[in-house]
Amino acid sequence: MPERSEGSQESASVSGPDIDDLAATVARLVADTRAHGRLLDRLADESGDALKAAAASADTAPVPAHGGKGPRSVFILALDEEAYAAELKALRFWVDNLLLPTYGREVTTNRPWCWQWYEHPEAVARLHALWLAWQQLIDVEAGLVGPNIWHRDHLGPALLQLRAPDGPFAACTTNPGRPNHRLLATPQSDPEER
C-alpha cells in the first residue's frame, strides 16, 4: 500500500450523471431551505404582530373574573372571542403556509382532511397545540434537538389523530376530487335531550 504524504487528500470520484443528480438535489435543498427561511421570517413577523396586539389588548382589558391580569391560558379554546379570532388568523397562516405544504400528505379514505378545518373545534384545538409546541421547540433556546422533539412528540401524534379515519374529519374529504365538509355530531351529556 503506498504511503500518503501528510498534506495529501483522498478525493471521491463521482461520474457525470451522478454528479448532475447530486448537484440538482443540493440546489433543490438549498432553494427549499431559503424558502423555508423566508416563510419562518414571515411567520415570526405575523406572530410578533399578533402577540403585540394581544399584549396591547391585555393591558387595556378588564381584569378577568379569576382575579389575575390577562388570559388565564394561551390555549385557543380558553381565549375570549376577540383573542380567539386573532389567534385563529395566525394559526390559519401557519397551517396553510407551513404545515400543509410541508407535511400535508395526500388525502385518502385512510387519511381524510377538511379544507375548512378551522370550523372543527377538535382540529383547531389540536393544531393550535401543535403550533404552540412548534413555536417553543424551534426557538434557539430549545437547543439543537428541539425540531426533532417537535416532530417526534407533537407532529406525528397530532396528525395521526387529526387524519385518522375516525378523527374529526371522518365525514369530510376522503377523495381530493370530491371535496366535502361536514361537522360530526357530538355525544349528548343527557340521553333524554336527544
- Is 5 inside a domain boundary? no
Residue 65 has pLDDT above 50, yes or no: no
Say which range, 20-29, 49-58, 128-137, 156-165, has the weakest mean pLDDT: 49-58
The pLDDT of 161-169, averaged and rounded, is 95
Cα 22 to Cα 37, 148, 185: the distances in Å are: 22, 25, 51
- Is 191 inside a domain boundary? no
- Is 88 inside a domain boundary? yes
CA dihedral of 129, 135, 137, 143, whole degrees rounded to 10: -170
Residue 60 has pLDDT above 60, yes or no: no
* Helices within 80-120 (DSSP H only): 81-94, 100-103
- Is 37 inside a domain boundary? yes
- Is 56 inside a domain boundary? yes
The pLDDT of 42-52, averaged and rounded, is 65
Q: Say how many domains are in the chain.
A: 1
- Is 194 inside a domain boundary? no
Strand partners, 182: none
pLDDT tens-digit readout, 137-148: 999 999 999 999
* 111: helix, strand or coil: strand
Range of the domain at 29: 20-184
Give the model's pLDDT for residue 142.
92
DSSP H or E run through 128:
helix 121-137
Give the model's pLDDT for residue 46.
67
The pLDDT of 104-118, averaged and rounded, is 93
pTM score: 0.61
